[in-house]
A and B are shown apart, each in its own frame.
Chain A
Amino acid sequence: MSAQPFLIAAAGLFSMGIYGILVRRNAVMVLLSIELILNAVNINFVVFNQMLSDVLLNGQIFTVFIITIAAAEVGIGLAIVLMLFRNRQTANINEFDLMKW
């Protein structure tokens, strides 16, 4: 089984995540797009792990680390969005312009 279709699909997933980050206006939707990007990276790690037949399983272990970091990121991100919503009554990121130059 060739590795290339998996790598191309992961690249497609990554670029869709970039598109979502740039287009979405709701902050929660931006966090969803970040999950897509992290998922693409996970797929790449596991595919390369199998392609190289790594006996030390570096790819899979790094995938577990990335999943942990992603869970932490979502928790913090949603807490920040909640905080912003409480103060500004909106979750649209284009209205958070207090620090805009």
Chain B
Amino acid sequence: MEAIDIFSYFLLLGLLLSAARVVTTSNVIHAAVALVFTLTITAVIFLLLSAEFVGLVIVMVYIGAVIVLFLFGIMITRAPLGENAELDNDKNKTVALVISFSIFGLFSYILLDSFDGQINITEGTSTEILGQILLSRFVFPFEIVSFVLLAALIGGITLARKDNALVDEDQV
């Protein structure tokens, strides 16, 4: 067993522990912070798997933007900060445990049965080559995705803004 194996086991253990914290903690802010830890460990795993660009995108997009959006969402919807016993639906817990464990068992059985390949650690992925592939072979999905992002942006603004034009002046 090499040093990199032990390092990756520690990383995966931390990943699972922080993910468990996201779904079990009774504090809303703690869940968001635990998600930050999960995503950071994911980025480190991507660096280990020589996918540097994707790891950096995770750090920038998820930790930089999505988590901030989540914290805004938590604060705007006035979710009770601090410990909150009402956060979980207790009567669903056994059913949820059974379903998630059976999904885990099924997935791990299939994955262990089908794939026993070795990961080839390479020197790293050139971002230049990634960009060339993205803008040649995948240029159509790339444009579609940018259109989806634009539509989501406009839709989000339209949903979230108070439409003052429709509100009567006296009621404001």
Contacts and interface: CB of A to CB of B under 8 A. Distances in A.
A contact face: mostly helix, strand, loop, or mixed:
helix
Interface residues of B, number: 86
Interface string B62-78: 10011001101110111
16 contacts: A1-B8, A12-B16, A13-B15, A18-B99, A24-B89, A26-B28, A26-B79, A28-B28, A36-B35, A50-B119, A53-B122, A56-B137, A64-B53, A78-B160, A81-B77, A94-B89
Contacts of B35: 32, 35-36
A4 B111 contact: yes
Interface of A: 1-9, 11-20, 22-29, 31-33, 35-36, 39, 42-43, 46-47, 49-53, 56-57, 60-61, 63-65, 67-76, 78-83, 85, 91-92, 94
B62 A28 contact: no
B67 to A, nearest CB: 9
Contact of B70 (A49, A56, A61, A78): A78
